[in-house]
Structure formats: structure tokens, C-alpha cells
Amino acid sequence: MKHVKVIATETICNEKGTGCGECQTGCQSACKTSCTVGNQSCEQKKTNRTTKVKQD
Amino acid sequence: MVHTFRCLGRYFALDVESGSLFEVDELTANLIEKRSPLATAKGDFSRYNDAEIAEAESEIDELIRRGVLFAPEPVHPEPVYKGVVKALCLNIAHGCNLRCRYCFAGDGQYHGDLDFMSTETAKNAIDFLISKSGGRKRLEVDFFGGEPLLNMKTVRATIDYARKVEKEAGKEFRFTITTNASLLTDELIDYFNREMYNVVLSIDGRKEVHDYMRPDASGKGSFDKSLENSLRLVRSRVGKSYYVRGTFTAHNLDFAKDVLALNDYGFGQVSMEPVVLPDGDPLAIRAEHLEELKWQYELLAKEYIARRAAGKEFGFFHFNIDIYNGPCASKRLVGCNAGDEYLAIAPNGNIYPCHRFDGIEEYVIGNVNDGTFDNSLPTLFATTNLTKKEECNGCWAKYYCSGGCAANSIQICGGIKKAYKVGCELMRKRVECALAIGAIESEGREGERSE
């Protein structure tokens, strides 16, 4: 593509098996005042989740 | 919903529902914006020829066809209260040796008397957490205050007890301590490096800012001691998690300098939070500060990229978004889970939705010492997830902040479903910067991500 550079696609995982609840709660890290969930890491990502990037 | 934005001199498009991220040219950003059902301006395309426009339109159509642009919102499941608790904030000390000007807890005493959690209450809290944790394996306990180092006897007893019972219970405890570091000793540093999964050290940045905002009880600035002790801890921590965390207020709207100062002092992992105070407080962040603060985030993002590119260790909590593989959709709907899976315990054993509610009578859920637990508030918090917050449903950043902090909504805006708008504006700018950083730093690393 000439006008669009694909950085990452379909990064929000809705698949079966997610929502295990083993990840860190947002407020246990460093914020304590402004909940930021986007930067929490997934405890399963090294096991059964897949990544789709750079499909072009 | 698609959000197009300009950050660090480049244009990006975020497909909200799929989480897909694209760098686009200005023409394509405007064409995507034009297709948004919410768009009011239709854009000026007079400087482009028809062939260019057709080409960009065709690329947009291709992304839509692939389901990665203007992806429909999935049907999210109705939130239900499951009664599982996996994280506790133990307010180990209602008291502090510092007198920070912005302290939400009133000199660390939560608007009550000086109080310290007993070892018995702390053990009851651990038993409570295990009994409520259901199938969760990793349980989190945060030692908070006030200043938890004023009550290390209970901190040590809590950890000893949890380590003794975790294996039999089939659990794994992860401890965090949040401290102003002024009372750290070498023995405590060794202890924290052994036992604490994460350490959060409170320093506000430049010495003059920190000393003004965080004096001790005699009025003397606490910077020198906090910095010296924090550096000793961080240098010995070797690969283990920590954050140096500051707060910025209306007093230091040029807070990017404070973040960079922390990095200059030798801290690789930094967080800096906007203060949350009622509008009338002279230190409160107000709407008229937002443009300056957004500019500060952009300045910080630019320097952040430069330092990291030069090989310097520099993590900034709010820029640390994994653009490829962040939390799952379920997590993005519930946020920090305060009042549901995350609760706070006061020194007297009272259970609250989170540390920010400690001391507010109508938010007492129960008590770990007498075994009382009323499901009413946890049910309210659990069932008021992102999907129930109307103001958030139309926001492009909803899956990154998950509806925000419930305490801010309730205490500043008057209702759990309300949006704390000053915080929302800052959150959106931080997420834009984080996404732009992720995209820029991915350049040249395409082949590395094959997981």
C-alpha cells in the first residue's frame, strides 16, 4: 500500500480462552490514580495467544 | 469507530474495535475521518488530484474488506459479579513521616487517627484473600499507606505468613510496596529485593519541585534522602521490577522536565501521574491547563524515543503500551477491577473498594477480623464495567483506559458511571503518544516479531 502502513492488526483478543484473570490488576503497578489497562501485560501471551502483525 | 490523529509530526489511524493501528498520510487520514459517522467537517481535498484520492480510497476499502478498519463493535457479555478477589491493597499504616501537599489521604492518616495494622489483621487479610480467590493462582498484595515502612513488623509478618500458607493453598503471592524511600536501610533494600515483586518509589522529579511538594513533618524537603535511598535500591535490584513514581500538579505544569530529571538521576522505569484534586484546590489540574499538559506529553514522547534509540534505559509507565499483544478484551472492559477483584484493607480490618475509599463510612464492605462481607458494593462495581458507562462508549480510547478510575468518577464527578473529563483528556493524549511511539519504534524491527 502506498498511503497506508500497517503497524498491527486485530490486537484486541476476543477469542475463547481469554479473560483468565491471572494478569496484574491495574492499580497494583504504578498508577494508583489513573487506571491504564492498555499497558498491562497478558500472562498468557507467551503460551496460547498469537500475534498478527505486518500482513502486507 | 476509527480514530485518526497527528502525533510527533505523523498521522495515524486506530481502529478502535479491532485494535488495528496504521500510519497513514494526511490525505488518507482526512479521507478516513470523512467516512466517520461522527465527522462534521468533510475535509478539503482540493490540493490532491483525483487519481491520488481514488488510490487512497481504494486502500481504505481494502482495509475495511479485511475487517481491520471500521470493524463493528462485538456484543460484549453482560457483566456479572462472581465474588472472586485476587488483589488486596493493605493500608499497613495510617500515618506518614512526610506532609505532601497533595496527599489524598490527609497526611497519610485517611482523615482519621494515626493507626497501624496489627499482624493479626494482616494475617486475617491473607486468609480472606485466599478464601475469596477461587481458581486464581497469582494473588497480589500491595503494602500501602501512609508510609508502610513505619510498620515493617506487620509487613514482614504478612509475608512470612503468606509464604507459609501459599503452597498448600495452591497460590503464588506477588508483593508490591509503595514507599517514599526516606526510611530505607540497606537491610530493607536486601529484604525488598528478595520478597517484593515490585517496588514503587515516590519521587516527584526535580529537587525544587519535590522539596516543595513533599516536605517532612518539620517542613524540610525530603528529596535528598529519598533520591539517595531509591538509587541504592534500584542499583541493587538487577532485573526486578520497580517504578519511580511522581505526581505532577498545577505547580509544575512543565512536568516533562520532572520525568526526564528522574531518568537523568538514573531511574530507568518512571511513572508520573496527574494529581486528582477538587477543582477549587490551588494544586488541581484544571481544564485551562490541558493544552500545556498535552504539549508536555508530546515533548516527553519525542525525547523518550531519542533516549531509547541512543540505548538509554527509559520506560515511562503510560507510554508502555504493547501495540501488538496487550490485554484481552475481557480485561479491557473491567480496568483495575476495584471493588470487585481488587479491594483495600484499612488498619482496623475494614474492607473498601480500593485505597481511595479508605475512611469513607458508606464504602465499608465488611471487615476481615469479624468475617463480615456485604456483596452490595462489590456487585455494583463489578456490574458497572465499561459497557455501562455511556460517556465512555463513544470514546476511541475506551479499550485503553477501560472507563477510568471509579474513585475519580465517584469522588470528583459524583457517580460511578460519570467520566472525569480532565483525566480523560490526558489519558487520550497519553494513549496517542504511546501508539505513535509503538509505531515509530517498530520501524526496522518487523522481522523480529514472529511469535
pLDDT at B178 over 90: yes
pLDDT over 70 for what percent of chain B?
A: 98
- Chain B from 261 to 320: CB within 8 A of any A CB: 271, 273-276, 317-318, 320
Alpha-carbon distance B131 to B351, whole Å? Answer: 15
pLDDT higher than 90, residue A33: no
* pLDDT average, residue stretch B58-62: 98
Instruction: Tell me what percent of the residues of chain B surpass a pLDDT of 90.
Output: 87
Name the residue facing B405 among A8, A29, A33 (closest C-beta).
Answer: A33
Identify whether the C-beta of residue B244 lies closer than 8 Å to the C-beta of residue B259.
no
Which pLDDT belongs to residue A19?
A: 77
All cell numbers assigned to A27: 492499580
Question: Does B387 reach chain A within 8 Å, measured CB to CB?
Answer: no
Cα(B237)–Cα(B402) distance, rounded to whole angstroms? 32
User: Long-range contacts made by residues B182-188, C-beta under 8 angstroms, separation at least 24?
Assistant: B182/B97, B182/B98, B182/B147, B182/B216, B182/B222, B182/B225, B182/B226, B182/B229, B183/B97, B183/B147, B183/B149, B183/B150, B183/B229, B184/B149, B184/B229, B184/B230, B184/B232, B184/B233, B186/B232, B188/B149, B188/B152
Average pLDDT (A21-35) is 69
* B18 closest CB neighbour out of A10, A50, A54: A10
Closest-CA residue of A relative to B273 is A31
Strand bridging mode B366-367 / B20-24: unpaired
Residues 16-45 of A with CB under 8 A from B: 18-19, 21-43, 45
Tell me how far apart the alpha carbons of residues B274 and B138 are, in angstroms, rounded to a whole number.
30
Supply the pLDDT for residue A56.
Answer: 40
- The pLDDT assigned to A29 comes to 65
Q: Residue B351's pLDDT band (boundaries 50, 70, 90)? A: very high
Does the beta-carbon distance from B318 to A13 stay under 8 Å? no
d(CA A52, CA A15): 13
**Rounded Cα gap, residues A17 and B32, in angstroms:** 33
Judge whether residue B340 has pLDDT over 90. yes
Beta strands in A1-56 (DSSP E): 4-8
Residue B317 C-alpha cell reads as: 509507565
Sheet holding B269-274, edge to edge: B315-316, B269-274, B241-248, B196-202, B172-179, B138-144, B87-91, B342-345, B350-352, B366-367, B372-373
Q: How many CB atoms lie within 10 A of CB B367?
A: 18
Instruction: Calculate the average pLDDT of chain B.
Output: 94
Average pLDDT for B195-205:
96
* Contact: B327, A24; criterion CB under 8 Å: no
| pLDDT in the model for residue B446 | 65
B238 contact A CB<8A: no
Distances from the Cα of B381 to the Cαs of B79, B307, B333, B415, in angstroms? 10, 41, 12, 11
Q: What value does the mean pLDDT take over residues B52-58?
A: 97
Distance from CA of A48 to the nearest CA of B (A): 10
Q: Please tell me the predicted confidence (pLDDT) of residue A22.
A: 77
Interchain CB distance below 8 Å, B332 and A27? no
The per-residue pLDDT for range B269-328, each reduced to its tens digit, is: 999 999 999 889 999 999 999 999 999 999 999 999 999 999 999 999 999 988 887 888
Please state the pTM of the whole predicted model. 0.93
Chain A environment of B318 (Cβ under 8 Å) = 36, 39
B19 falls in which pLDDT band (50, 70, 90)?
very high
Task: Identify the pLDDT of residue A51.
Answer: 44
pLDDT of residue A50 exceeding 60, the answer is no
pLDDT for the residue A28: 63
- Give the pLDDT confidence score for residue A38 in this predicted structure: 67
User: pLDDT confidence of A20, banded at 50, 70, 90?
Assistant: confident
pLDDT score recorded for residue B325: 79
Categorize the per-residue pLDDT at B451 as very low, low, confident or very high, splitting at 50, 70 and 90. Answer: very low
At B136, which amino acid appears?
R
Q: What is the pLDDT of residues B213-250, one digit of tens each?
A: 999 999 999 999 999 999 999 999 988 999 999 999 99
Which of these ranges, A34-43, B234-243, B397-406, B426-435, has the smallest mean pLDDT? A34-43
Closest by alpha carbon to B391, among B365, B419, B364, B349?
B419
Identify all chain B residues contacting A18, using CB atoms and an 8 Å cutoff.
328-331
pLDDT 10s digits, B352-369: 999 999 999 999 999 999
Q: CB of B449 within 8 Å of any CB in chain A?
A: yes
Whether pLDDT at A16 is above 60: no
A47 contact B CB<8A: no
B150 has a pLDDT exceeding 80: yes
